A and B are shown apart, each in its own frame.
Chain A
């Protein structure tokens, strides 16, 4: 059933309308949001089952023939990312039922949350360049709404910086879309792939550079990542986990789809530049993280650092590189969202996000140590956790191509990542709480938060222990990229 391909965009949009309609009744709104995000997860699983059998689900709007119609194309890459988007939606909505840094419950929070999900889902499945731009705008405006909705002065400050830099990125993207259309006369991905070789090489390089810079702004790559650490830490935790997990990955997906698939092979110099950008992104991101003491800010800088690893896979421009990128993205979204959610639980139990003001959790909550260490060590890449397999795939290919500098940077950055994860562990768990009278509060409402974090840790453990299933899948997905 090809109409299922529209589900990643239609279901969240319908859900947004539905939860807006019941905005005066918070409990009903929460229940409907939960039902809708589970429905999205069901649709994503159904899509995954179809594409895993080797079928590409295509739907063309308005009954126009290709390449006139706007198409939604769900291949293995898109289906996996849609599934992880839906999973993040369920996690965020369920976490909202707890009291761990969920913010004041604004009636329009859930509609905007579904707007972000619709934007991400639409961007993952669309087969049309202008349509991709529209989904980026949907995500941008909804993310801005979520940033500004709390109306604290730091949130407005963060929204402004997010707006200014991201809007510039979006305008670059629109300019690039205009340039691509001007030189090829197409917007449909399949038609673009056919038309690209006929364009004069110098002109084509300029157009693709513009497109790449636009997506790098969205992905949060060096040196255009300033919007990310300036804004993310002002969000309430479940929204932060969703946005931190998804938004930069949509930029990365767009790069993979264009440089790695539609316009592949792009001029070699672009991949070379992307590789060095990736190395710098890893390094500068992790250095920012090493400096900070606020857990949210540490983790926000780690997003940038990890984006560097993911971009490196695209820069390697091979099937193995793309497979590593995809594996890394899927593992990373789960791990990163989980770390932000665990930080929120730490905040609820100890009273601050600042590591200098908290401590003592190892004595009072010993099992929570394990819960933190699963995603934290996975982010570092300690075997046998999922991050290890992701880095192994990536660095095997980098060494295979003789990219020694990039490999060394990636390994050094892993050590620095370990440093800041250990900082969180030692300060929040191992050391005593600075307030000697401190006891974890008894009147918490954390059951949904535990369910979400343990569930996401379970996904990480599953990827860690059975990487083969995911590996086979991403290799099959990467093999079809560039084969238009």
Chain B
């Protein structure tokens, strides 16, 4: 069982990292989700796997010898929920970014860090990417 989980962990980490290295921003977001799934597997595996004994301590025994540790199962639930929220956020962000920037190529996303036009001086920032000055009067 642990080897099956290890193989699944390896496959999901490898494929996730492969996707993350893509220039396509949507694939990067998906890759992060896959890496997250792999890490959740690792967290689950940290509390022993494979036992079919329920996590209920019989009367007269101080602890269970063979059962899986229930704590990582609780932890992994927390991690899944947090990861799910972040995946939702990242998908919404990536869709908005592709719509507004008009490209899904990470190398062409230079709105925040414009490419220098000359070897020595940094580029001047595009006024469209700056806060509006003078600021409008606020109610």
Residues of A that sit less than 8 Å from B by CB: 26, 99, 101-103, 105, 130, 133-134, 137, 140-141, 144, 148, 151-161, 163-164, 167-168, 171, 174-175, 177-179, 181-182, 185, 229-231, 233-234, 236, 291-294, 297, 347-348, 351-354, 356-357, 441, 443, 445
- For B122, list chain A residues within 8 Å (CB): 291-294, 297
Query: B90–A105 contact, CB under 8 A?
Result: no
Query: A164–B20 contact, CB under 8 A?
Result: yes
* Chain B stretch 21-44: residues in CB contact (< 8 A) with chain A: 25, 28-29, 32, 35-36, 39-40, 42-43
Query: B46–A178 contact, CB under 8 A?
Result: yes
Residue in chain B with minimal CB distance to A99: B135
- For A351, list chain B residues within 8 Å (CB): 133-134
Whether, in the assembled complex, B96 has its beta carbon less than 8 Å from a beta carbon of chain A, the answer is: yes
Contact of B36 among A171, A234, A294, A441 (CB under 8 A): A171
Query: B82–A157 contact, CB under 8 A?
Result: no
Whether, in the assembled complex, B124 has its beta carbon less than 8 Å from a beta carbon of chain A, the answer is: yes
Residues of B that sit less than 8 Å from A by CB: 20, 25, 28-29, 32, 35-36, 39-40, 42-43, 45-47, 69, 71-72, 75, 78-79, 82, 85-86, 89-90, 93-94, 96-97, 100-101, 109-113, 121-122, 124-125, 128-131, 133-135, 138-139
Known A-B contacts A144-B89, A156-B97, A236-B131; A231 and B112 likewise in contact (beta carbons under 8 Å): yes
Query: A167–B32 contact, CB under 8 A?
Result: yes
Query: B111 to chain A: closest CB distance in Å?
Result: 4
Contact of A353 among B36, B96, B130 (CB under 8 A): B130
Contact of A178 among B36, B43, B100, B139 (CB under 8 A): B43
Query: A161–B131 contact, CB under 8 A?
Result: no
Q: Given known contacts A171-B36, A354-B124, what 7 new A-B pairs fall within 8 Å (CB)?
A: A101-B135, A134-B78, A163-B93, A177-B43, A179-B46, A292-B122, A356-B124
Query: B86–A141 contact, CB under 8 A?
Result: yes
- For B131, list chain A residues within 8 Å (CB): 101, 103, 236, 347
Bound CA span A73–B44, Å:
27
Query: A196 to chain B: closest CB distance in Å?
Result: 16
- For A178, list chain B residues within 8 Å (CB): 39, 42-43, 45-46, 72
- For A101, list chain B residues within 8 Å (CB): 131, 135
| 12 A-B contacts (beta carbon < 8 Å) | A130-B78, A134-B82, A158-B112, A163-B90, A164-B29, A175-B43, A178-B45, A230-B113, A234-B112, A292-B122, A351-B134, A353-B125
